[in-house]
Amino acid sequence: MNTDSITLSRRAVHVAIGALLCVGTALTPVLAATPKDTLVLAFAFDDIITMDPAEAFEISAGEIMGNAYDRLIRFDVKDPSRLYGDVAKSWTVSPDGKTFSFEIKPGLKFASGNPLTAEDVAFSLQRAVLLDKTPAFILTQFGLSKANVRDMVKATGALTLTLETDKAYATTFVLNCLTANVASVVDKKLLLSKEQGSDMGYAWLKTNYAGSGPLKIREWRANEILTLERNEQYHGDKSKLVRVIYRHVKEAATQRLLLEKGDIDIARNLSPQDLTALASNADIKTTSTPKGTLFYFSMNMKNPNLAKPEVREALKYLVDYAAIGDTLMKNIGVVHQNFLPMGLLGASTVNPYKLDVDKAKSLLAKAGLANGFKVTMDVRTVQPVQGIAEAVQQTAKRAGIEIEILPGDGKQTLTKYRARTHDMYIGQWGADYWDPHTNADTFVRNPDNADDAKSKPLTWRNAWAIPELTKKADAAVLERDPVKRRALYDAMQAEFRKTSPFVMLFQQTEVAAYRSNVDGLKLGPTSDSTYLFGVSKR
Amino acid sequence: MLAALKATGRFVLVLALTYLGLLAVTFFIGRVIPVDPVLAIVGDRAPEHVVARVREELGLNKPLYEQFGIYIQKVAHGDFGTSVLTANPVLQDIARTFPATLELATLGILIGVLVGVPLGVWAAVRRGGLVDQVVRVMGLIGYSVPIFWLGLMALVLFYARLGWVSGPGRIDVVYQYTLQPVTGLLLVDAALGGEWEAFRNALSHLILPASLLGYFSLAYISRMTRSFMLNELSQEYVVAARAKGLSETRIIWRHALRNAMVPLVTVIALSYAGLLEGSVLTETVFAWPGLGLYLTNSLQNADMNAVLGATIVVGSVFIGLNLVSDLLYQLMDPRTRAR
């Protein structure tokens, strides 16, 4: 080689470095905090599939609906047992408990400028039942159906409407159901103008907005961005923020970096490690709320070993609740061994189980399985579920139970679970609406355990045939005395703890970390009660 | 004339068969993965009658071949269906996600080529020397370090600590609604609109993930360049050129590299095609709404319309780049020119 090529290379290196430096200086970003009138959140919202409140049932979508749509009544986020009128000014229940009459506040308007009347409210409930999408069951469970909904829900005047139910249910049950997203009030005139065929605006509303809430939906770009704007027509206190922008950021570590740099105001999906690391940062605060979501694992009673009551009880003693709570679930969950999450009417806080290998061993011996057995568990490969499964695997082994973990994507494990071809399944369950029946319906009701059953609640998926408990759950939803109703749920929870194939583990605590210049952020107990219209920035 | 027509005809036929095969394989794989596509639409809570109705609406109760037939018929009429996850027509989704990936991949491959080729040449010339070793180690790191980790580290360093570049995402939220979308490529749109602030912002968001992708393709390109160059440098014509007294620079860059470029074009084209598929991990770390994430998310939810649509795009990219590299071959190597 000669010096020629060396000089050339040196020159090239100098040029390259020079160019890099130039690009570097040119790109150095202006230190830009987010605008004062705009709240920017990092939120993993890839679960959203629609903006129509009659169909939206995903966790992230719930939050958007809660901010963008009004409903007849809402529950108080500070005390969820207290209901208040949203578009309803007042309501009464007939003495037989089957007719609910509502009076609508006068002078309300949708974001479109159209007036909001009883006709719109009736249309909204009818539309949800007629479209019959996933959340429609919340309304049909008190007797509304496609055939009768136009008679059962009626506007009786410009500002009055009545709702009839098929039986006399607990008043709280019906009213609680009406706080759900599916009961959101939509703009009849606007939707009918966008109608295709006779779809009541269904195709259009998937990506559009027809509401009257404090924030209106400007745009939803799947997996990218979701923008809400202040609704100037809103009847109550108008939002302090002009704009709320959700950015889809899937990776927790990325959310943390964005928050630390001030490119976002609120990070919604941080891991326990991120939260611990942020605790020492003076610019960042956190807020948390117990959610209606429970972590559990369950045992399919089609497996002969798991069908033995002693085995099921033994597994409840083979979880180190305290240790998992201090590590994997630190800041994001608390031990909870009941099927009603704290905050719901009648929720029990009795947590009798703790790790006790000897007790588990003696129970297994009683079941004739002193040497243990082998079993599989379907596990979604996300935290904290995967970590909890591994911890359970360790402790169960100490009593001779060999758990083989079958990892899978969420939809994959769920498909198997729904077909009840699993042995054990670990997952979570969130309350669908703010009434104890939502969880009783799936954890202690199994009307038909046959393979071709019409309804397939969690009890069915684990082949737990419980005709007696089913009757008790049905009775509880008709009990109109709140004190007695509470007692019924308490008794069901005690029986469930002892005999069910469900090992209830934790109740989720949702945590959000935010920049210290954000005021008024409060996470709601349900996905649809995290209200951003009360938030402001300094 | 006739021969040309015949050749064109054969090309079109092969193209059609390739697409059909691609779609068939993707379709059947998508239908045998153990995920219930209805689940993505109705969720876990839906009553059984809703599940059954949606299954019927999607035509999932028909035999597989019939489902495929219906799909192909629709595609032939330009209807790629609607994604159940995003509620948008698949074409619209692709028009949104592909430019994001295109912008990233193009800058990435530019970096990969502009840095990788000279490095490879340099390493070949200094075979066994320090430069060669350094380039080799860099290449190895590029191959073996998970891009996910490297991406996070790069963010921590250049974005969080040094503040040289903007963070994850394609552009700051303040420009989100000021920029008029024309091509979907933010740099182009900003330049067209004369929005130079937005241009600068988009570029400062783009540079880090693009450099990262560039680094990964650089690792491969520099290794291949080195080996092609070594091959050329040992040829007789190089010895002859040296004997004639040509300068070493001229021999390396004019004679040897020009010959090495021929096989290198294929390597570069394939690297570029690989980047255009979208890099799921890079897109996740950098919150980049590109094709890779779209495709993966759709696949996990068995959203077959979206998966098939994205597969066609990826397939077209490969076919197109193959064509381009064939043409470049003919330009660079007279021997391959059809007579």
What was the ipTM of the complex prediction? 0.86
Residues in Cβ contact with A298 at an 8 Å cutoff, skipping those fewer than 6 apart:
A424, A425, A426, A427, A458, A461, A462, A501, A502, A503
* Percent of chain A with pLDDT strictly greater than 70: 94
Dihedral sign, Cα of residue A72, residue A77, residue A78, residue A82: positive
CB contact under 8 Å between A207 and B87, yes or no, is yes
For residue A32, the model assigns a pLDDT of 54
> Per-residue DSSP letters for B122-169?
HHHHTTTSHHHHHHHHHHHHHHHS-HHHHHHHHIIIIIIIS--S--SS
User: Does any CB of chain A come closer than 8 Å to the CB of residue B55?
Assistant: no
User: DSSP string covering A236-289, please?
Assistant: SSPPS-SEEEEEE---HHHHHHHHHHTS-SEE----HHHHHHHTT-TTEEEEEE
Could you tell me if A208 lies within 8 Å of chain B, comparing CB atoms?
Answer: no
- H helices within B33-89, ranges in order? 37-42, 48-57, 64-76
CA distance to partner chain B, nearest, from residue A399 (Å):
33
pLDDT of residue A351: 95
User: pLDDT by residue (tens digit) across A57-67?
Assistant: 888 999 999 99
Q: What is the pLDDT of residues B27-71, one digit of tens each?
A: 888 888 777 888 878 888 888 888 888 888 888 888 888 888 888
Is A253 in contact with B85 (Cβ distance < 8 A)? no
Q: By the CB < 8 Å criterion, does A250 face chain B?
A: yes
Instruction: Encode pLDDT of A352-369 as tens digits.
Output: 999 999 999 999 999 999
Residue A2 has pLDDT above 50, yes or no: no
Q: Which residue of B has its CA nearest to A7?
A: B249
Residue whose structure tokens are 């319309």: B305
pLDDT score recorded for residue B278? 73
Residue A375 contacts residue A391 (beta carbons within 8 Å):
no
The kind and range of the H/E element at B47 are none
Paired with A334 in beta bridges are: A507
CB atoms within 10 A of CB A195: 13
Q: Please report which helix (H) or strand (E) contains residue A403, including its range.
A: strand A401-408
Q: Do A249 and B168 touch (CB under 8 A)?
A: yes
Mean pLDDT of A16-44: 69
For B298, nearest residue in chain A (alpha carbons): A46
Where is average pLDDT lowest: A119-123, A403-407, A459-463, B259-263? Answer: B259-263
Determine the pLDDT at residue B39.
82
- The C-alpha of B56 sits at a distance from chain A's nearest C-alpha, in angstroms, of 14
Structure tokens at B15: 């193209």
Spatial separation of the C-alpha atoms in residues B281 and B277, rounded to whole Å? 12
Q: Within the 392-411 window of chain A, which residues sit less than 8 Å (CB to CB) from chain B?
A: 409-411
The pLDDT score that the predictor gives to residue A90 is 96
Q: B100-121 pLDDT, tens per residue?
A: 999 999 999 999 999 999 999 8
Omega of the bond leading into A384 within 30 degrees of 0 (cis): yes
DSSP for residue A145: -
B294 touching A (Cβ < 8 Å): yes
Length of chain A equals 538
Cβ-Cβ contacts under 8 Å, A254 against chain B: 152, 155, 168, 284-287
Nearest CA in chain B to A22: B164
Chain A 324-363, residues with CB within 8 Å of chain B CB atoms: none
- pLDDT category of residue A14 using cuts at 50, 70 and 90: low
* CB contacts, 8 Å: B293 with chain A: 223, 250
Q: B206 in contact with A at a CB cutoff of 8 Å? A: no
Q: Do B294 and A225 touch (CB under 8 A)?
A: no
Q: Chain B contact for A136, CB < 8 A?
A: yes
Contact B249 A9 (CB under 8 A): no
**Is residue A52 over pLDDT 70?**
yes
Q: List all residues of chain B from 68 to 97 with a beta carbon under 8 Å from chain A.
A: 83-88, 93, 96
Residue with tokens 């068969």: B17
* Sign of the dihedral defined by the CA atoms of residues A65, A70, A76, A78, in that order: positive
B124 touches chain A (CB under 8 A): no
* Residues of chain A contacting residue B34, judged by C-beta atoms under 8 Å apart: 412, 415-416
**A538 CB within 8 Å of a chain B CB:** no
In this structure, of A178-187, A445-454, B31-40, the range with the lowest mean pLDDT score is B31-40
Grade residue A458 by pLDDT with cuts at 50, 70 and 90. Answer: very high
pLDDT top residue among A412 and A391: A391
Residue A46 to residue B247, Cβ atoms within 8 A:
no
Helices and strands (DSSP H and E) totals, chain A: 19, 19
Count of pairs with CB atoms under 8 A, one residue in A, one in B: 166
* Chain B positions in Cβ-Cβ contact with residue A456 (cut-off 8 Å): 48
Closest chain A residue to B170, measured at CA: A224
Can you tell me the mean pLDDT for A22-49?
75
Which of B173, B187, B291 best tests the A interface by mutation, with the highest count of A CBs <10 A? B173
Q: Give CA angle at B303 (B301, B305), nearest 5°.
A: 165
| Band (A4; pLDDT cuts 50, 70, 90) | very low
% chain B with pLDDT above 90: 20
A24 pLDDT higher than 60: no
pLDDT above 90 as % of chain A: 80
Q: Does B183 touch chain A (CB under 8 A)?
A: no
Most A-contacting residue of B176, B211, B282, B294 (CB-CB within 10 A), to test interface: B176
What is the nearest CA distance from A357 to chain B, expressed in angstroms? 34
CA distance B331 to chain A (A): 27
pLDDT tens digits, residue range B167-223? 899 988 888 888 878 888 889 988 888 888 889 999 999 999 999 999 988 888 999
Nearest CA in chain B to A249: B287
- DSSP-derived letter for residue A33 is P
Q: Six-digit token pair at B276? A: 């255009």
**Contact assignment for A412 to B118 by CB distance below 8 Å:** no
Taken as a whole, chain B contains a residue count of 339
**Looking at the predicted structure, is the pLDDT value of residue A6 above 60?**
no
Q: Residue A200 above 90 pLDDT?
A: yes
What pLDDT is stored for residue A1 in this prediction? 39
Mutating which of B35, B187, B296 best tests the A interface, going by the most A Cβ atoms within 10 A? B35
* B80 phi, psi to nearest 5 deg: -90, 5
What is each CA distance from A201 to A52, A148, A190, in whole angstroms? Answer: 9, 21, 8
The Cα A107–Cα A94 span in angstroms is 27
pLDDT value at residue A460: 95
pLDDT band at A18 (very low <50, low <70, confident <90, very high): low
A-chain CB neighbours of B94 within 8 Å are none
pTM for the model stands at 0.88
Is pLDDT of A26 > 60? Answer: no
Question: Do B302 and A411 lie within an 8 Å CB cutoff?
Answer: yes
The highest-confidence range among A389-403, A409-423, A444-458, B242-256, by mean pLDDT, is A389-403
Residues 186 through 205 of chain B touching chain A, CB cutoff 8 Å: 200-201, 203-204
Is A44 at the interface with chain B, CB within 8 A? no
Residue B295 touches partner A, C-beta closer than 8 Å:
no
Partners of A137 on chain B (C-beta within 8 Å) are 45-47
* Tens of pLDDT, residues A225-267: 999 999 999 999 999 999 999 999 988 999 999 999 999 999 9
Task: Look at residues A437, A441, A461, A431 and name the one whose alpha carbon lies nearest to residue A449.
Answer: A461
Instruction: Round to whole Å and give the CA distance between A83 and A176.
Output: 8
CA B335 to CA B339: how far, in whole Å? 10
